[in-house]
Amino acid sequence: MKPKANICLLKRDLRVEDNRTLYQCYMNSEKILPIFVFDKDVLKSVGIEELSDHRLSFLLDIIENLRKQIKLYVFVGNDQEAISRIIERYDIKALYTSKPLTFSGKHRNQKIKEFLKYRGIQMIEVLDNVLCDYTKIPYRKVYTYFYNEWKNYLDLEMVKDVDYNTKIIHDEFLEDLTRISIQQVKSKIKNTTIWTYEFGINRIKEYDFSKYEELRNDLGIDYSSKLSPYIRFGVLSIRKVYNLAKDKSIGFIKELAWREFWYHIAHYFPELPNLEFQERRRNIAWENNEKYIDSIEKAQTGYPIIDACIIQLKRENWMHNRARLIFGSFLTKDLLTDWRIGEKIFSKYLIDYDEVVNLGNWQWISSVGPDPKPLRIFNPILQAQKFDPFSKFIKKYLPQLSNMEPHKLHDPLSNKLNYYPPIVNHHERIEKIKQAYS
Catalytic residues: 255, 258, 286, 321, 339, 362
Give the number of other Cβ atoms within 10 Å of residue 189's Cβ.
17
409 in Cβ contact with 394 (< 8 Å): yes
Radius of gyration of the chain from its Cα atoms, rounded to whole angstroms: 23
Q: List CB contacts of 255: < 8 A, sequence separation 6 or more.
A: none
Beta bridge partners, 7, equal: 33, 95
For residues 308-342, b (16+ Cβ closer than 10 Å) or e, as one string? bbbbbbeebbbbbebbbbbbbbbbbbbbbbbbbbb
Q: List CB contacts of 202: < 8 A, sequence separation 6 or more.
A: none
32 in Cβ contact with 164 (< 8 Å): yes
Cα-based angle 424, 430, 435 (whole degrees, multiple of 5): 115
Nearest residue to 8 (alpha-carbon basis) of 123, 97, 117, 129: 97
Specify the 3-state DSSP secondary structure of 352.
coil
Rounded distance between C-alpha atoms, residue 7 and residue 115, angstroms: 14
Q: List CB contacts of 57: < 8 A, sequence separation 6 or more.
A: 189, 191, 192, 193
Rounded distance between C-alpha atoms, residue 190 and residue 229, angstroms: 20
280 in Cβ contact with 368 (< 8 Å): no
Q: Which amino acid is at 193?
A: T
